[in-house]
Structure 1
Amino acid sequence: MARRNGCLIGCLVAVVPGIGLLVVLLFGVGKLVDVADKTLVDPKVYEAVKAGDSESEVRAKLPSGETFVKSTLKDGGPVEPAGSQCAWYLSSAGDGNTVFRFCFKDGKLAEKADYRLK
């Protein structure tokens, strides 16, 4: 009986960390999918919108952009126009290092910029 309990404990010691690792892996994949869903913009969308377009029309074409990588996307970009509110996204094309920035002011797209992620 003692031998059987020792085997059971040994098996649990081997299985529990494996399950923990699997949970962490699934969480990480979920976060990556979340980031991709909320930050990737097709370059065709970027090219289609123009300064002066309605903010609501432009935002309707964009994902939410609210992810934990938002602060990273801000780094290295041009200075934001005074009094504007900006949103940052990654290009869905290429190597994933191109950032698209859309700045809104007074209900209109005031400026758009693209730059390389540092």
Structure 2
Amino acid sequence: MAQRKGCLIGCGVALVVGIGIVVALVVGVSKVRDIADKTLVDPKVYAQVAVGDPESEVRAKLPSGETFVKDALKEGGPAEPAGSTCAWYVSSASSGDDVLRFCFKDGKLADKARYAMK
């Protein structure tokens, strides 16, 4: 009887651990999709926009960019233009290690930069 009880406890623990792993995987995949939806930009969009374009038109072509990886994308880039508001994205190109930065000032695109992610 004690052997059977030990087996049931072991199976119960294995079940709980298995469910925990599945939940962690689902949450992880969800976070990756969230980052991709909010930070990936096609390099063609970067090439299409030009300094001086209206901010509203440029932002309409970009995802929100509001994710927890934003601070990491800022690292290693050129200095932000004074008085501007910038948004950072990851290039959707196959390598995916380029950061695309768009800075806005006075309702226009003031600067754009492309640099390697650190």
TM-score of the two chains, using structure 1 as the length reference = 0.94
1:92 alignment counterpart: 92
Instruction: Give the number of aligned pairs.
Output: 118
Superposed CA deviations along residues 74-110 of structure 1, whole A, max 9, x for unmatched, are 0000000000000000000031110000000000000
1:76 matched residue in structure 2: 76
Structure 2: tracts of 5 or more residues without a match: none
**Distance (Å, rounded) in 2 between the aligned partners of 1:98 and 1:6:** 54
The equivalent of 1:52 in structure 2 is 52
Deviations 1:41-73 (A, max 9, x none): 000000000001000110000000000100000
Compute the TM-score of the two structures, normalised by the length of structure 2.
0.94
SS of aligned partner of 2:94: coil
Mapped to 2, the partners of 1:64 and 1:74 lie a distance apart of 16
Give structure 1 stretches of 5+ with no counterpart: none
After TM superposition, give the deviation of residue 14 of structure 1 in Å: 1.1
Deviation at 1:13, TM superposition (A): 1.1
Tell me, in whole angstroms, the C-alpha distance in 2 between the residues paired with 1:97 and 1:20: 32
Alignment of 1:1-118 (within 5 A): 4-118=4-118
Q: Tell me, what secondary structure is at the counterpart of 2:101?
A: strand
Q: Which amino acid aligns with 1:109?
A: L
Which amino acid letter does the alignment assign opposite residue 110 of structure 2?
A
Q: Which stretch of structure 1 is more off in the superposition, 101-110 or 5-14? A: 5-14
Structural RMSD (CA): 1.2
Residues in 1 aligned to 2:10 and 2:101: alpha-carbon distance in whole angstroms: 54
